[in-house]
Homo-oligomer: A and B are copies of this chain.
Amino acid sequence: MHQILREHIEKIVPLTDDEFAFVASHFISKKYKKHQFLIQEGEAVKYHYFVVSGLLKLVYTDDTVKQHIVSFAMEDWWESDFYAFYTQTEATMSLVCLEDTEVLCLTLGDYKKLCNDVPKMNRFFLEKANFGFLGAQRRIISSLTSNSQERYEQLLEQYPALFQRVPKSLLAAYLGVSRETLSRLSS
């Protein structure tokens, strides 16, 4: 059933059939349509989501009602308002479908249970967290060192699929430039 999840985990730690069955039993599968909300700002965050198929945006809305893309999440990625999930506080961001999307959902209790009961999964989540941190740090360095043009090129180089699947106005909101400026970049 969750073959994709198994392959995803086994890129980092090998699992026996029994181990994977135990792990998989903690997830529930959900399907959403384009434009649906998985997380709504202000509400509780029940799950950390593993994306089986589809595409999500994690959106932060500031005081002036302007929307900023904190992250995109496609197949094989984990996403949530992780701060709200991890500290069980209310969401400051929204998680929204850009395409019809299937996810596997894990509660915080089960996340901790898997870490405690299955050492391999603790190591798996540590590896995910470390690379998540490195990805964020990379983006910070990019914003410190590069102008709009360069950041746009880096984004397309790193995630060429986004160019096909996401409107440019959202790429602009991810990069922190206006859609007009992005449109004027020569590329």
Return A93 CB to nearest CB of chain B, in Å: 8
Question: Which chain B residues border A82 with CB–CB below 8 Å?
Answer: 130, 133-134, 137
Asked if A44 lies at the interface with its beta carbon under 8 angstroms from chain B, I say no
Question: Which chain B residues border A141 with CB–CB below 8 Å?
Answer: 60, 68, 70
Stretch at the interface among A18-26, A33-41, A117-125: A117-125
Q: Are A60 and B136 in contact (CB under 8 A)?
A: no
Asked if A179 lies at the interface with its beta carbon under 8 angstroms from chain B, I say no
For residues 132 through 176 of chain A, which have their beta carbon under 8 Å from a beta carbon of chain B?
132-134, 136-141, 143-145, 176
For residues 90 through 136 of chain A, which have their beta carbon under 8 Å from a beta carbon of chain B?
115-116, 119, 122-123, 125-126, 129-130, 132-134, 136
Asked if A86 lies at the interface with its beta carbon under 8 angstroms from chain B, I say yes
Which 6 A-B pairs give the minimum distances between C-beta atoms? A136-B136, A129-B129, A68-B144, A133-B133, A62-B145, A132-B133
Listed by A's residue number, 29 A-B pairs whose Cβ atoms lie within 8 Å are A60-B144, A60-B145, A62-B145, A68-B141, A70-B137, A70-B140, A70-B141, A70-B144, A82-B130, A82-B133, A83-B134, A86-B130, A86-B134, A116-B123, A119-B119, A122-B122, A122-B123, A122-B126, A126-B126, A129-B130, A129-B132, A129-B133, A133-B133, A133-B136, A136-B137, A136-B139, A139-B140, A140-B140, A140-B143
